[in-house]
């Protein structure tokens, strides 16, 4: 009997030790690099999303590492399989709760609404459905082509005058200062005040809302909830203005459609597409929510990518010349028929998105562990073990500039159309060259890179 008890205890000990070993040594990823005592990896996260790769220093063969910020566990993962797991539809339950936001979502008026900050799964799915069905509607996308042609043609006289000055304008294109390009045009082309259109106030309103988003998500909740700060009042006003401007424009559009409900033209703006949606879910409040999401999520992403496209075309004149030749072959204005022939332009957009992804990570909350998961969707394209095949499908899940699955950017078609139109108009008329061989310095901010 004693031998039996001893054997049982020995077996139990082996099982417990083996279980603990596998749990701690095999299932858990290695500790991330560049951590410091007490603060852990807070300095890495403060640098920005593009520097999360520093956590893999010396761990190049790993696709998952464990970090911490002020004692809270974080996992940073990369690689196609991890991107698939986190962005796949089966992981939809991995969402945080609005109640844990400390009042941040209430301040931004995004609690249980929209997509970017919505923690209510049912509401998220509904908003996703409404946004995808309308912003991706072929009729809506096609109607934008003549509008974009008209807009770019209206810029041609100003751009021609700028080209004649032979000024170095790269600092303006890549400036993070708001309205820098507009102010540059006014200063360069003389003192004809009022000759050029003023900057749309909506752009300023959106930028101020983005500042408010950064403030409320990075400031400890007790400061903006219980301490009367000047900054809190300022950002509260920005959120209020953003809400009022969108609401006012939606109501104006609704009144216009009620007076002339039948849209007989091929032109259809987003607000009209949403308000004309016959589904019962599309209430005026949801229209406002969807439009807020669209203008906030798409305002600077395309413009940043366009800036990097021009920079890379300037660095690669042979490719720029090939792009120019492809566009010249269209022989006429860009239409919904011939825009599909711009294969090289589309390839340039995708390659730029791979090198300079404006949304390089995705953040997920873990439902079974205490922490977050940061997914690096744009891996280092020179890292060891990369795929040898290069082509449209060569990168697989390692290339996800617009995401995948249910979390794929609903504005992908719109963004690609905008960028193709702008690149086509610019490269058809102008050639871009670098004035200096110095590499561009990239500074990451919330609103632009």
3-state secondary structure the chain: CHHHHHHHHHHHHHHHHHHHHHHHHHHCCCECCCCECCCECHHHHHHCHHHHHHHHCCCCCCCEEEEEECCEEEEEEECHHHHHHHHCHHHCCCCCCHHHHCCHHHHHCCCCCCCCCCCCHHHHHHHHHHHHHHHCCHHHHHHHHHHHHHHHHHHHHHHHHHHHHCCCCHHHHCCCCCCHHHHHHHHHCCCCCCCCCCCCHHHHHHHHHHHHHHHHHHCCHHHHHHCCCHHHHHHHHHHHHHHHHHHHHHHHHHHHHHHCCCCCCCCCCHHHHHHCCCCCCCCHHHHHHHHHHHHHHHCCHHHHHHHHHHHHHHHCHHHHHHHHHHHHCCCCCCCCCCHHHCHHHHHHHHHHHHHCCCCCEEEEECCCCCEEEEEECECCCCCCCCCCCCCCCCCHHHECCCCCHHHCCCCHHHHHHHHHHHHHHHHHHCCCCCCCCCCCCCCCCCCCC
Please state the φ and ψ torsions of residue 273, each to the nearest 5 degrees: -60, -40
CB 291 within 8 A of CB 275: no
| Per-residue pLDDT tens digits for 112-154 | 888 777 777 788 888 888 888 888 778 788 888 998 898 888 8
CA pair distance 9, 252, nearest whole angstrom: 78
| Lowest-confidence region among 46-60, 222-236, 363-377 | 363-377
Same domain, yes or no, for 372 and 301? no
Q: 313 and 328: one domain? A: yes
Q: Does one domain contain both 170 and 262?
A: yes
Query: pLDDT tens digit string along 199-225?
Result: 667 878 888 898 898 888 878 888 888
What percent of the chain lies above the pLDDT cut of 90?
Answer: 11
Per-residue pLDDT tens digits for 318-328: 999 999 999 99
> Is the domain of 244 the same as that of 95?
no
Q: Quick one: 288 and 384 in the same domain? A: no
Least confident segment among 86-90, 100-104, 326-330, 333-337: 86-90
**Domain hosting residue 76, numbered range:** 28-102+360-396
Q: What is the mean pLDDT of residues 436-443?
A: 68
97 or 52, which is more confident = 52
User: Which residues does the annotation place in the binding site for heme?
Assistant: 409
pLDDT of the residue at 236: 94
CATH code: domain of residue 140: 1.10.630.10
* Total number of domains constituting the chain: 2
Over residues 360-387, the pLDDT tens digits come to: 676 666 655 555 555 555 554 444 444 4
Q: Which pLDDT score is estimated for 384?
A: 43
Please indicate, yes or no, if residue 150 is contained in any of the structural domains. yes
**Quick one: 174 and 268 in the same domain?**
yes
Same domain, 293 and 171: yes
Pairing type for strands 371-376 and 72-78 reads parallel
Q: pLDDT-based confidence at 2, cuts 50/70/90?
A: low
Q: Do 178 and 268 reside in the same domain of the chain?
A: yes
User: Is residue 1 assigned to a domain?
Assistant: no
Do 309 and 261 sit in the same domain of this protein? Answer: yes
Q: Do both 98 and 134 map to the same domain?
A: no
CA dist., res. 312 & res. 72, Å (int): 39
- Which residues fall in the annotated binding site? 409
Do the domain assignments include residue 231?
Answer: yes
d(CA 336, CA 446): 34
**Is residue 111, in this structure, part of any structural domain at all?**
no
Are 50 and 444 within 8 A, CB to CB?
yes
What pTM, to 2 d.p., does this model score?
Answer: 0.74
Does residue 112 lie within any of the structural domains?
no
- Establish if 21 belongs to a structural domain: no
- Assess whether 323 and 405 both reside in one domain: yes
pLDDT mean across residues, the chain:
75
Instruction: Give the pLDDT confidence score for residue 16 in this predicted structure.
Output: 60
Q: Are residues 353 and 365 in the same domain?
A: no
Q: What is the mean pLDDT of residues 240-259?
A: 90
Structure tokens at 29: 């990823």
The answer to the question of residue 265 being in a domain is: yes
Task: Tell me, yes or no, whether 435 lies in a domain.
Answer: no
d(CA 42, CA 339): 46
């Amino acid at each position: 009997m004693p031998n039996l008890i001893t054997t049982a205890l020995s077996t139990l000990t082996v099982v417990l030790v083996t279980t603990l070993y596998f749990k701690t040594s095999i299932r858990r990823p290695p500790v991330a690099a560049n951590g410091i005592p007490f603060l852990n990896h807070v300095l890495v996260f403060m640098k920005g999303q593009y520097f999360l790769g520093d956590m893999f220093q010396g761990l190049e063969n790993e696709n998952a590492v464990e970090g911490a910020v002020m004692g809270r566990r974080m996992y940073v993962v990369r690689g196609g399989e991890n991107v698939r797991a986190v962005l796949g539809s089966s992981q939809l339950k991995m969402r945080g709760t609005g109640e844990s936001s400390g009042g941040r979502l209430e301040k931004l008026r995004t609690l249980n609404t929209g997509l970017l900050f919505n923690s209510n799964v049912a509401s998220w799915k509904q908003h996703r459905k409404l946004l995808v069905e309308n912003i991706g509607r072929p009729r809506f996308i096609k109607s934008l082509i003549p509008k974009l042609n008209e807009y770019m043609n209206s810029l041609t006289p100003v751009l021609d005058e700028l080209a004649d000055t032979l000024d170095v304008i790269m600092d303006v294109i890549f400036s993070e200062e708001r309205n820098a390009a507009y102010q540059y045009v006014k200063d360069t082309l003389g003192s004809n005040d009022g000759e050029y259109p003023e900057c749309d106030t909506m752009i300023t309103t959106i930028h101020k809302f983005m500042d408010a988003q950064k403030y409320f998500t990075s400031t400890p909740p007790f400061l903006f909830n219980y301490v009367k700060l000047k900054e809190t009042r300022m950002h509260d006003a920005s959120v209020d203005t953003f809400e009022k401007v969108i609401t006012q424009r939606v109501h104006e559009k609704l009144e216009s459609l009620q007076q002339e409900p039948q849209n007989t033209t091929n032109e259809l703006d987003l607000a009209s597409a949403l308000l004309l949606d016959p589904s019962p879910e599309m209430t005026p409040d949801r229209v406002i929510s969807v439009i807020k999401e669209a203008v906030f999520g798409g305002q600077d992403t395309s413009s940043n990518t366009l800036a990097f496209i021009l920079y890379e075309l300037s660095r690669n004149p042979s490719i720029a010349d090939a792009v120019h030749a492809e566009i010249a072959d269209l022989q006429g204005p860009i239409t919904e028929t011939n825009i599909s022939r711009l294969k090289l332009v589309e390839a340039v957009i995708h390659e730029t998105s791979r090198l300079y992804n404006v949304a390089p990570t995705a953040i997920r909350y873990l439902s079974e562990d205490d922490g977050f998961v940061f997914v690096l969707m744009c891996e280092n394209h020179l890292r060891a073990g990369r795929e040898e095949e290069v082509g449209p499908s060569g990168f697989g899940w390692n290339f996800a500039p617009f995401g995948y699955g249910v979390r794929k950017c609903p504005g992908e078609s719109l963004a690609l159309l905008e960028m193709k139109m702008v690149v086509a108009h610019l490269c058809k008329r102008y050639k871009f060259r670098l004035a200096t061989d110095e590499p561009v310095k990239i500074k990451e901010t919330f609103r632009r890179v």
